Amino acid sequence: MVINDLLIKKVFYQIVNDAQLGLTLNPSKDEFSYVRFNYLEEGKVFGNQREEELFGKDDKIDEEYEAEYSNGTVNYLPTLIVNNKEEFFETLKLIINKYLNFYDFNRAFKQFGEEEIIKSIIIALFSNARYVDYENPIDFMNKYMDFFDEYTINNTISIPVLGDSQIKTNTKKDIFGYETPYYYESYIEKDNNRYYLPNINYGISDNICYIYAIQNKYKNEENDYTKKIKRLLNKVNANVINDTDYNEKETILGVPPSFVLALSIFLKELNNRGINNIEVITFLPDRYFEKKATEEFDEDLIQKNLTERMILLFYRIKHHINDIEIDYPIANGISPSKMTGENLIIKLNEKIECHNNPLLEELFNQINTNSKKI
Protein backbone atom coordinates (compact mmCIF):
# COMPACT_ATOMS: atom_id res chain seq x y z
CA MET A 1 0.00 0.00 0.00
CA VAL A 2 1.05 3.65 -0.52
CA ILE A 3 1.38 5.75 2.62
CA ASN A 4 0.67 9.45 2.26
CA ASP A 5 3.67 11.70 3.02
CA LEU A 6 1.55 14.13 5.04
CA LEU A 7 0.19 11.28 7.14
CA ILE A 8 3.73 10.20 8.05
CA LYS A 9 4.58 13.76 9.12
CA LYS A 10 1.37 14.08 11.10
CA VAL A 11 1.98 10.84 12.99
CA PHE A 12 5.63 11.71 13.61
CA TYR A 13 4.71 15.05 15.17
CA GLN A 14 2.03 13.37 17.28
CA ILE A 15 4.64 10.95 18.65
CA VAL A 16 7.01 13.79 19.49
CA ASN A 17 4.33 15.86 21.19
CA ASP A 18 3.11 12.86 23.17
CA ALA A 19 6.71 12.20 24.31
CA GLN A 20 6.49 8.72 22.85
CA LEU A 21 9.83 8.91 21.14
CA GLY A 22 12.56 7.97 23.58
CA LEU A 23 10.15 7.31 26.45
CA THR A 24 7.39 5.06 25.20
CA LEU A 25 5.56 3.97 28.34
CA ASN A 26 5.82 6.89 30.72
CA PRO A 27 5.32 10.19 28.89
CA SER A 28 5.40 13.21 31.19
CA LYS A 29 6.31 16.86 30.96
CA ASP A 30 9.30 16.53 33.24
CA GLU A 31 10.70 13.58 31.27
CA PHE A 32 10.19 14.77 27.73
CA SER A 33 12.27 13.36 24.93
CA TYR A 34 12.33 16.05 22.32
CA VAL A 35 13.45 16.52 18.73
CA ARG A 36 15.78 19.34 17.72
CA PHE A 37 15.53 20.33 14.07
CA ASN A 38 18.66 22.24 13.19
CA TYR A 39 16.51 24.46 11.04
CA LEU A 40 12.80 25.20 10.86
CA GLU A 41 11.16 26.44 7.72
CA GLU A 42 9.64 29.66 8.97
CA GLY A 43 5.95 30.01 8.32
CA LYS A 44 5.46 26.68 6.54
CA VAL A 45 1.88 25.52 7.06
CA PHE A 46 1.07 21.86 7.75
CA GLY A 47 -2.68 21.36 7.35
CA ASN A 48 -4.25 24.19 9.34
CA GLN A 49 -1.28 24.65 11.66
CA ARG A 50 2.21 25.97 11.26
CA GLU A 51 4.80 23.25 11.37
CA GLU A 52 6.45 24.61 14.52
CA GLU A 53 3.07 24.45 16.28
CA LEU A 54 2.65 20.79 15.39
CA PHE A 55 6.24 20.17 16.38
CA GLY A 56 5.74 21.52 19.88
CA LYS A 57 7.72 24.23 21.62
CA ASP A 58 11.21 23.34 22.84
CA ASP A 59 11.83 25.23 26.10
CA LYS A 60 15.50 24.21 26.23
CA ILE A 61 17.97 26.51 24.55
CA ASP A 62 21.07 25.05 22.94
CA GLU A 63 23.39 26.52 25.58
CA GLU A 64 21.42 24.87 28.37
CA TYR A 65 21.37 21.58 26.50
CA GLU A 66 25.12 21.66 25.88
CA ALA A 67 25.79 22.43 29.55
CA GLU A 68 23.67 19.50 30.66
CA TYR A 69 25.26 17.23 28.07
CA SER A 70 28.76 18.12 29.27
CA ASN A 71 28.02 17.09 32.86
CA GLY A 72 26.20 13.93 31.85
CA THR A 73 22.73 14.75 33.15
CA VAL A 74 20.96 14.37 29.80
CA ASN A 75 22.65 11.16 28.72
CA TYR A 76 19.53 9.28 29.75
CA LEU A 77 17.21 11.22 27.45
CA PRO A 78 18.01 10.79 23.74
CA THR A 79 17.51 13.79 21.49
CA LEU A 80 16.65 13.23 17.86
CA ILE A 81 18.71 15.68 15.82
CA VAL A 82 17.63 16.35 12.25
CA ASN A 83 19.90 18.40 10.02
CA ASN A 84 18.00 17.89 6.78
CA LYS A 85 14.27 17.69 7.39
CA GLU A 86 13.27 16.80 3.83
CA GLU A 87 15.81 13.96 3.65
CA PHE A 88 14.76 12.78 7.10
CA PHE A 89 11.10 12.39 6.16
CA GLU A 90 11.94 10.85 2.79
CA THR A 91 14.14 8.24 4.49
CA LEU A 92 11.49 7.68 7.16
CA LYS A 93 8.96 6.97 4.41
CA LEU A 94 11.32 4.45 2.79
CA ILE A 95 11.87 2.51 5.98
CA ILE A 96 8.16 2.53 6.87
CA ASN A 97 7.53 0.93 3.48
CA LYS A 98 10.25 -1.65 4.27
CA TYR A 99 8.33 -2.60 7.40
CA LEU A 100 5.02 -2.71 5.54
CA ASN A 101 6.41 -5.00 2.82
CA PHE A 102 8.20 -7.27 5.29
CA TYR A 103 5.49 -7.86 7.90
CA ASP A 104 1.84 -8.71 7.39
CA PHE A 105 -0.15 -5.78 8.78
CA ASN A 106 -3.40 -6.54 6.94
CA ARG A 107 -5.43 -7.52 10.02
CA ALA A 108 -3.85 -4.74 12.08
CA PHE A 109 -4.77 -2.12 9.47
CA LYS A 110 -8.41 -3.22 9.59
CA GLN A 111 -8.47 -3.22 13.39
CA PHE A 112 -6.41 -0.13 14.24
CA GLY A 113 -6.10 1.99 11.08
CA GLU A 114 -3.18 3.53 9.21
CA GLU A 115 -2.17 6.10 11.82
CA GLU A 116 -1.72 3.57 14.61
CA ILE A 117 0.30 1.22 12.40
CA ILE A 118 2.64 4.02 11.30
CA LYS A 119 3.00 5.12 14.93
CA SER A 120 3.85 1.56 15.98
CA ILE A 121 6.47 1.27 13.22
CA ILE A 122 8.20 4.55 14.13
CA ILE A 123 8.29 3.69 17.84
CA ALA A 124 9.53 0.15 17.09
CA LEU A 125 12.26 1.57 14.84
CA PHE A 126 13.63 4.03 17.39
CA SER A 127 13.40 1.52 20.20
CA ASN A 128 16.42 -0.03 18.44
CA ALA A 129 18.36 3.25 18.22
CA ARG A 130 21.47 4.08 20.25
CA TYR A 131 22.30 7.63 21.33
CA VAL A 132 24.54 8.02 18.29
CA ASP A 133 21.61 6.86 16.10
CA TYR A 134 19.36 9.57 17.55
CA GLU A 135 22.04 12.09 16.63
CA ASN A 136 22.42 10.64 13.10
CA PRO A 137 18.93 9.30 12.29
CA ILE A 138 19.32 9.21 8.49
CA ASP A 139 22.46 7.05 8.72
CA PHE A 140 20.67 4.86 11.26
CA MET A 141 17.61 4.35 9.06
CA ASN A 142 19.71 3.58 5.98
CA LYS A 143 21.71 1.01 7.96
CA TYR A 144 18.58 -0.53 9.44
CA MET A 145 16.98 -0.87 6.01
CA ASP A 146 19.88 -3.14 5.06
CA PHE A 147 18.84 -5.43 7.94
CA PHE A 148 15.75 -6.43 5.98
CA ASP A 149 17.93 -8.09 3.32
CA GLU A 150 18.20 -11.77 4.23
CA TYR A 151 21.61 -13.31 4.75
CA THR A 152 20.80 -17.01 4.81
CA ILE A 153 23.02 -18.92 7.20
CA ASN A 154 21.69 -22.47 7.33
CA ASN A 155 23.71 -25.56 8.21
CA THR A 156 23.55 -29.10 9.57
CA ILE A 157 26.55 -30.07 11.67
CA SER A 158 27.46 -33.51 13.00
CA ILE A 159 30.17 -33.93 15.65
CA PRO A 160 31.15 -37.22 17.37
CA VAL A 161 30.58 -36.03 20.93
CA LEU A 162 26.86 -35.62 20.19
CA GLY A 163 26.51 -39.18 18.86
CA ASP A 164 23.57 -39.47 16.46
CA SER A 165 22.40 -35.94 17.22
CA GLN A 166 23.01 -33.06 14.83
CA ILE A 167 23.24 -29.31 15.29
CA LYS A 168 20.92 -27.50 12.89
CA THR A 169 21.02 -23.77 12.20
CA ASN A 170 18.60 -21.47 10.39
CA THR A 171 18.08 -17.80 9.66
CA LYS A 172 14.46 -17.05 10.56
CA LYS A 173 12.17 -14.06 10.21
CA ASP A 174 11.28 -12.58 13.58
CA ILE A 175 7.94 -11.08 14.54
CA PHE A 176 7.34 -7.33 14.50
CA GLY A 177 8.71 -5.44 17.49
CA TYR A 178 11.93 -7.35 18.12
CA GLU A 179 15.36 -5.80 17.75
CA THR A 180 15.99 -6.98 14.19
CA PRO A 181 13.94 -8.48 11.34
CA TYR A 182 15.87 -11.78 11.46
CA TYR A 183 17.33 -14.01 14.13
CA TYR A 184 19.77 -16.91 13.97
CA GLU A 185 18.34 -20.12 15.40
CA SER A 186 20.35 -23.19 16.39
CA TYR A 187 19.31 -26.41 18.08
CA ILE A 188 20.49 -29.97 18.66
CA GLU A 189 18.20 -32.64 17.24
CA LYS A 190 17.78 -36.40 17.09
CA ASP A 191 14.61 -37.97 15.65
CA ASN A 192 11.78 -35.94 17.19
CA ASN A 193 13.84 -34.71 20.13
CA ARG A 194 15.21 -31.18 20.16
CA TYR A 195 17.42 -29.12 22.47
CA TYR A 196 17.28 -25.39 21.71
CA LEU A 197 20.31 -23.14 21.93
CA PRO A 198 19.97 -19.36 22.43
CA ASN A 199 18.88 -17.27 19.44
CA ILE A 200 20.84 -14.31 18.10
CA ASN A 201 19.08 -11.20 16.80
CA TYR A 202 21.34 -9.59 14.23
CA GLY A 203 21.48 -7.42 11.13
CA ILE A 204 24.16 -6.95 8.49
CA SER A 205 25.02 -3.66 6.80
CA ASP A 206 28.13 -2.66 4.84
CA ASN A 207 29.73 -6.03 5.72
CA ILE A 208 29.37 -5.36 9.46
CA CYS A 209 27.25 -7.67 11.61
CA TYR A 210 25.35 -5.89 14.38
CA ILE A 211 24.33 -8.19 17.24
CA TYR A 212 21.46 -6.83 19.31
CA ALA A 213 20.48 -9.73 21.53
CA ILE A 214 21.48 -13.29 22.47
CA GLN A 215 18.70 -14.94 24.42
CA ASN A 216 16.76 -18.12 25.01
CA LYS A 217 13.63 -17.91 22.89
CA TYR A 218 12.35 -21.44 23.52
CA LYS A 219 12.30 -23.31 26.79
CA ASN A 220 13.73 -26.82 26.66
CA GLU A 221 11.52 -29.57 28.01
CA GLU A 222 12.85 -31.63 30.90
CA ASN A 223 13.28 -35.15 29.55
CA ASP A 224 15.98 -37.79 29.18
CA TYR A 225 17.21 -36.36 25.88
CA THR A 226 17.58 -32.74 27.00
CA LYS A 227 19.25 -33.86 30.24
CA LYS A 228 21.75 -35.91 28.22
CA ILE A 229 22.53 -33.00 25.87
CA LYS A 230 22.94 -30.63 28.81
CA ARG A 231 25.54 -32.99 30.30
CA LEU A 232 27.36 -33.27 26.97
CA LEU A 233 27.47 -29.49 26.61
CA ASN A 234 29.47 -29.27 29.82
CA LYS A 235 32.37 -30.42 27.63
CA VAL A 236 32.42 -26.84 26.35
CA ASN A 237 33.93 -26.00 29.76
CA ALA A 238 36.97 -28.20 29.16
CA ASN A 239 40.24 -26.32 29.73
CA VAL A 240 38.49 -23.12 30.81
CA ILE A 241 40.46 -21.24 33.41
CA ASN A 242 38.92 -19.01 36.02
CA ASP A 243 40.44 -15.92 34.49
CA THR A 244 39.51 -13.02 32.21
CA ASP A 245 41.01 -9.69 31.25
CA TYR A 246 37.64 -8.05 31.94
CA ASN A 247 37.74 -7.29 35.67
CA GLU A 248 34.29 -8.11 37.05
CA LYS A 249 32.88 -10.10 39.96
CA GLU A 250 31.88 -12.99 37.74
CA THR A 251 34.24 -14.76 35.38
CA ILE A 252 34.14 -16.43 31.99
CA LEU A 253 33.62 -19.78 33.71
CA GLY A 254 30.10 -18.71 34.66
CA VAL A 255 28.91 -18.27 31.06
CA PRO A 256 26.37 -21.02 30.19
CA PRO A 257 27.79 -23.60 27.70
CA SER A 258 24.71 -23.29 25.47
CA PHE A 259 25.47 -19.57 24.89
CA VAL A 260 29.13 -20.35 24.16
CA LEU A 261 28.15 -23.00 21.62
CA ALA A 262 25.50 -20.89 19.86
CA LEU A 263 27.72 -17.83 19.54
CA SER A 264 30.76 -19.88 18.48
CA ILE A 265 28.75 -21.42 15.63
CA PHE A 266 27.40 -18.03 14.54
CA LEU A 267 30.80 -16.30 14.56
CA LYS A 268 32.39 -19.15 12.63
CA GLU A 269 29.64 -19.03 10.02
CA LEU A 270 30.11 -15.26 9.63
CA ASN A 271 33.87 -15.69 9.39
CA ASN A 272 33.57 -18.34 6.66
CA ARG A 273 31.42 -15.88 4.70
CA GLY A 274 33.95 -13.06 4.96
CA ILE A 275 32.09 -11.03 7.60
CA ASN A 276 34.73 -10.26 10.23
CA ASN A 277 33.61 -6.95 11.73
CA ILE A 278 31.00 -7.20 14.47
CA GLU A 279 29.42 -4.60 16.71
CA VAL A 280 27.51 -5.74 19.78
CA ILE A 281 24.83 -3.30 20.93
CA THR A 282 25.09 -3.11 24.71
CA PHE A 283 22.55 -0.35 25.43
CA LEU A 284 19.38 0.92 23.75
CA PRO A 285 17.99 3.96 25.61
CA ASP A 286 14.36 3.59 24.54
CA ARG A 287 14.18 -0.03 25.71
CA TYR A 288 15.90 1.02 28.93
CA PHE A 289 13.23 3.66 29.57
CA GLU A 290 10.55 1.09 28.84
CA LYS A 291 11.89 -0.97 31.74
CA LYS A 292 12.33 2.18 33.85
CA ALA A 293 8.63 2.95 33.53
CA THR A 294 7.74 -0.46 34.97
CA GLU A 295 7.95 0.11 38.71
CA GLU A 296 8.28 -3.50 39.82
CA PHE A 297 11.64 -3.90 38.08
CA ASP A 298 15.02 -2.41 38.90
CA GLU A 299 15.85 -1.22 35.41
CA ASP A 300 19.44 -0.26 36.27
CA LEU A 301 20.13 -3.73 37.64
CA ILE A 302 18.50 -5.34 34.60
CA GLN A 303 20.65 -3.25 32.22
CA LYS A 304 23.80 -3.90 34.24
CA ASN A 305 23.19 -7.66 34.19
CA LEU A 306 22.40 -7.71 30.46
CA THR A 307 25.49 -5.72 29.57
CA GLU A 308 27.87 -7.64 31.83
CA ARG A 309 26.56 -11.02 30.67
CA MET A 310 27.04 -10.03 27.03
CA ILE A 311 30.58 -8.77 27.67
CA LEU A 312 31.59 -11.86 29.62
CA LEU A 313 30.19 -14.08 26.86
CA PHE A 314 32.48 -12.50 24.26
CA TYR A 315 35.50 -12.65 26.53
CA ARG A 316 34.68 -16.32 27.07
CA ILE A 317 34.65 -16.83 23.30
CA LYS A 318 38.00 -15.06 23.08
CA HIS A 319 39.38 -17.62 25.55
CA HIS A 320 38.53 -20.41 23.08
CA ILE A 321 39.34 -18.55 19.87
CA ASN A 322 42.62 -16.63 19.87
CA ASP A 323 41.87 -15.01 16.51
CA ILE A 324 39.48 -12.43 17.99
CA GLU A 325 40.13 -8.84 19.04
CA ILE A 326 37.74 -7.14 21.47
CA ASP A 327 37.43 -3.44 22.24
CA TYR A 328 34.89 -2.05 24.69
CA PRO A 329 35.21 1.75 24.92
CA ILE A 330 33.31 1.99 28.22
CA ALA A 331 35.91 -0.28 29.84
CA ASN A 332 38.62 2.06 28.56
CA GLY A 333 37.73 5.07 30.67
CA ILE A 334 34.10 5.85 29.85
CA SER A 335 31.82 5.37 32.85
CA PRO A 336 29.08 2.78 32.23
CA SER A 337 26.87 4.69 34.71
CA LYS A 338 26.32 7.35 32.03
CA MET A 339 24.82 4.68 29.74
CA THR A 340 26.58 6.12 26.72
CA GLY A 341 25.63 3.10 24.67
CA GLU A 342 29.06 2.44 23.20
CA ASN A 343 29.22 -0.79 21.24
CA LEU A 344 31.36 -3.80 22.00
CA ILE A 345 33.65 -3.96 18.95
CA ILE A 346 34.70 -7.41 17.71
CA LYS A 347 37.26 -8.02 14.99
CA LEU A 348 37.78 -11.53 13.62
CA ASN A 349 40.93 -12.62 11.83
CA GLU A 350 40.57 -13.84 8.26
CA LYS A 351 40.20 -17.41 9.50
CA ILE A 352 39.28 -18.13 13.10
CA GLU A 353 39.94 -21.50 14.72
CA CYS A 354 39.41 -23.00 18.16
CA HIS A 355 42.66 -24.02 19.85
CA ASN A 356 41.85 -25.41 23.29
CA ASN A 357 38.50 -27.18 23.37
CA PRO A 358 37.97 -30.57 21.62
CA LEU A 359 34.22 -30.10 21.15
CA LEU A 360 34.56 -26.65 19.58
CA GLU A 361 37.57 -27.70 17.51
CA GLU A 362 35.57 -30.50 15.90
CA LEU A 363 32.61 -28.17 15.48
CA PHE A 364 34.74 -25.65 13.57
CA ASN A 365 36.13 -28.39 11.34
CA GLN A 366 32.63 -29.45 10.35
CA ILE A 367 31.51 -25.87 9.68
CA ASN A 368 34.57 -25.36 7.47
CA THR A 369 33.48 -28.38 5.46
CA ASN A 370 29.85 -27.34 5.08
CA SER A 371 29.85 -23.54 4.77
CA LYS A 372 29.75 -21.51 1.60
CA LYS A 373 30.35 -17.84 0.99
CA ILE A 374 27.32 -15.54 0.92
H runs (alpha helix) in 161-256: 224-233
Considering only residues 260 and 160, tell me which one the structure prediction assigns the higher pLDDT.
260
Report the pLDDT value the prediction gives residue 127, as an integer from 0 to 100.
Answer: 87
Confidence at 70, pLDDT banded by 50, 70, 90: very low
Residue ranges of domains in the chain: 5-146, 155-370
Report the pLDDT value the prediction gives residue 289, as an integer from 0 to 100.
Answer: 61
Beta strands in the chain (DSSP E): 35-37, 45-46, 49-50, 80-82, 155-157, 166-173, 182-190, 193-196, 199-205, 208-215, 277-280, 324-327, 344-348
Report the pLDDT value the prediction gives residue 69, as an integer from 0 to 100.
Answer: 41
Q: Is residue 181 a contact partner of residue 101, using CB atoms and an 8 Å limit? A: no
Other CB atoms within 10 A of residue 131 CB: 20
Considering only residues 18 and 209, tell me which one the structure prediction assigns the higher pLDDT.
209
Report the pLDDT value the prediction gives residue 67, as an integer from 0 to 100.
Answer: 40
- How does pLDDT run across 317-353, given as a tens digit for each residue? 888 888 888 887 655 444 443 344 468 889 999 889 8
Report the pLDDT value the prediction gives residue 290, as an integer from 0 to 100.
Answer: 61
- How does pLDDT run across 279-291, given as a tens digit for each residue? 998 878 777 666 5
* 4-10 mean pLDDT: 86
Query: Per-residue DSSP letters for 311-353?
Result: HHHHHHHHHH-TTEEEE-GGGGT--GGG---PPEEEEE-SS--
For the entire predicted model, the pTM comes to: 0.80
